[in-house]
Copies of this chain bind each other. A is one copy, B any other.
């Protein structure tokens, strides 16, 4: 067979040992926090039936689904009459005749499908996390991939805001554990609905939010101009203006909003929810910055209560975590009126933050602790049980595979970032000792074969 130049599909990535170490450090950290709050893992298949996925992500989303060709004689049963047009073949219509499955686009729709399908086995409120890749046929560009991991944590089956609190605590714990300083921004969809209502434009909720959202970038006057352009009267804009310039503590912001939203029932409910939530946060304690941001509107079509977003304080990048409450995720699959709340951690961006701020702990990316040099057959036989003892004590230990030049063996250790090297040759075997080198300092010790604790201690301390 001809030699092939190896390559991977555009928008996909290989992860080597160093990247994997960093990614596993992130996943292990979030997993251990999720566990402490009683969230359990699930996994769903990479492929879902296309009927499960189609129509859930808007028209644009449908186009970004990766479809899987039916196996076997996929084109045998095509009804060609249905796919022919004057211009030729309708790709989309034909695709739907030959593809029944697609790769999952996110973890939310599969989660909703899972909850409904397994509702009789689950204990509600059902608390789950899910860390799996998703696929989108987006145009690849810097920082945007066609395969990437999502890391979602959700609870479904309760309206209690104690779960909003729990997710806020999880955010606090995760970023504390990772050493990342953050701002957690909170909003409530009901407050935004109330604002649109008191403006006399409940239908212009999205116009208002899109404009408000730009205040940091374009400034107050430009936002007001945009609101005018989007069809709001001056009177409505005057009403919104104080919201745009809201200052003070979170309690002060809520208090300042009350007179503005006084005539909107839903708006006042939103403020009550915010107040209740901040009461919980105060009781439980939150160690980072947390602020109400009324311009926050992510996933607006979807969220019905609290909305969250997390930004890193010391690194310029989009939001690294976000989520909110949704009241009818599972309705489409036959389980209506089931409220839930969830957040999603952006693993790729968190990786970039940790990497950019040099926050990966050294141990997280280190592999092998000790390389045993290969001196000769007798040395190998002497070393093998010693290496086993060190491994049993938890160390990562390798033996160089051939009794080649020491220079080459040292090179291997250096390139792999292995700090310690043990030489066990003729002299060492005779004296029942090991020659233990710290390659980072050049320091070298002779250690009794029966005193391996000394090695364990040295490695643990460094």
Contacts and interface: CB of A to CB of B under 8 A. Distances in A.
Interface stretch (A279-287, A299-307, A313-321): A279-287
Given A4-B333, A401-B163, A123 B415 contact: yes
Nearest to A283: B381
A103 B133 CA distance: 13
B69 A41 contact: no
B391 A36 contact: yes
A95 B69 contact: yes
A36 B397 contact: yes
B14 A44 contact: yes
Nearest to A401: B160
A236 interface: no
Interface stretch (A109-117, A205-213, A245-253, A257-265): A109-117
B135 A6 contact: no
A356 interface: no
Given A66-B68, A68-B67, A69-B68, A45 B13 contact: yes
B283 A45 contact: no
Contacts of A165: 384
How many copies, total?
Answer: 2
Contact of A69 (B20, B21, B67): B67
Chain A, interface size category, equals: 35 or more
Interface string A59-78: 00001101111011111101
A401 B73 CA distance: 52
Among A7, A8, A73, A135, the one with the most B-chain Cβ atoms within 10 Å of its Cβ is A8
Given A16-B121, A66-B71, A384-B280, A6 B52 contact: yes
A4 B401 contact: no
A399 interface: yes
A169 B390 CA distance: 14
Nearest to A93: B75
B40 A367 contact: yes
Contacts of A283: 380-381, 384-385
A89 interface: yes
B99 A69 contact: yes
A322 B169 CA distance: 45
B75 A94 contact: yes
17 contacts: A6-B116, A7-B52, A8-B45, A8-B52, A12-B47, A14-B114, A15-B42, A16-B118, A20-B40, A20-B43, A45-B147, A46-B46, A46-B103, A46-B135, A47-B135, A47-B147, A74-B91
Given A16-B42, A69-B99, A283-B385, 20 more contacts: A6-B113, A6-B114, A6-B334, A7-B52, A8-B117, A9-B45, A9-B100, A15-B42, A36-B391, A36-B394, A38-B398, A47-B147, A66-B71, A69-B98, A75-B89, A75-B94, A76-B88, A123-B412, A173-B391, A284-B387
